[in-house]
Chain A
Amino acid sequence: MGEMINLTAEDGHKLSAYIKPRRAASPAAPWS
C-alpha cells in the first residue's frame, strides 16, 4: 500500500492524494 499525502493547488486549495512510489529493483542477493 502507498500513503496519503497533501497537495496544494494553484488557487490554494488543499487536497489529498494517494501516492505509491515506483517499485524498487530487488537488491542483489548477498551471495550473488
Chain B
Amino acid sequence: MIQEIFGVNHHIKNVTDGFAKDGYLAIAPALFDRVERGFETGYQQADIERGRAVRGKLSIEDAIRDVRAAVKEAQKSGLKIGVVGYCFGGTMAWLAATRIDGVAAAIAFYGGGIADTAAEKPKCPVIFQWGETDASIPKEHWEKVKQHHPNLTQHVYPAGHGFACDERASFHKPSSDQARERTIQFLKQHVG
C-alpha cells in the first residue's frame, strides 16, 4: 500500500487497515523517511506544498528500493504480492510492476508520473484508475499509456485528483466505491 505525498498518515493507515479487513496482510512503507523520518501531514494547501517539497527531495530510485523492501517483507508470508498506490503512490505502484520482481498485480490510482514512464514494460497485470477532471493528469497521460499498453485496463471516473481519499475536498464517493470494488476484484483475481 503506497502512500500519497502526505506520508503514512492516518488516512493511509485507515486504507491499509481496510485491505487487512478484506483478508490481506497490508504494509505501507514510509517512503518519505529518507527525507524526513516520520513525515505525515493533512490535506490543506500548506500541507500539499510541504508534501511536494519532500517528494521533490526523494529520488524515484530510492523510493523503488523502499517499495522493494516492503515487498520482501510481505513475501515472508509466502503469499502473492499486490501493490496498490495513490497519487505519488500510484506512480510507484506502476513502477513496482515494471521494476520489482515478485509483484503479482498492481493497481495505480492517478499517478502523475506514469505517463513519463509509460514505455516501461510491466512484469505483472496492472490496472489504472484515473479521474476524468484531474487537472494535474489530463487525458493525454492516459492516451500515452494506452499507446504503449493497449491491452492494460484503464478506468476513468467522473471525478478529480484524489477522488478516493475521503479526507480530501475532491473525494467522490461513488467513484471511490467503484474503484475500490474493482481493486479488490483485481487483487482476488491475481493475488488471491
Say yes or no: B28 contacts A23, CB within 8 Å: no
Q: How far is the CB of B28 from chain A (nearest CB, A)?
A: 4
Asked if A18 CB lies within 8 Å of chain B CBs, one says yes
Count A/B pairs, Cβ under 8 Å: 81
Docked pose: A11 CA to B25 CA in angstroms: 25
Asked if A27 CB lies within 8 Å of chain B CBs, one says no
Docked pose: A19 CA to B16 CA in angstroms: 8
**Residues 56-85 of B contacting A (Cβ, < 8 Å):** 62, 65-66, 68-70, 73
Say yes or no: A18 contacts B25, CB within 8 Å: no
Q: Is the interface on chain B under 10, 10 to 19, 20 to 34, or 35 or more residues?
A: 20 to 34
B residues in contact with A21, CB < 8 Å: 20, 25
B residues in contact with A11, CB < 8 Å: 62, 65
Say yes or no: B69 contacts A19, CB within 8 Å: no
Say yes or no: B27 contacts A15, CB within 8 Å: no
Q: Specify which of B21, B23, B30 lies most central, judged by the most chain A CB atoms within 10 Å of its CB.
A: B30
A residues in contact with B16, CB < 8 Å: 2, 18-20
Say yes or no: A2 contacts B33, CB within 8 Å: no
Say yes or no: B17 contacts A15, CB within 8 Å: no
A residues in contact with B27, CB < 8 Å: 17-20
Additional A-B contact list (10), CB under 8 Å, known A2-B13, A15-B30, A19-B73: A2-B26, A5-B73, A7-B29, A7-B70, A10-B65, A13-B33, A16-B8, A18-B28, A20-B19, A22-B20
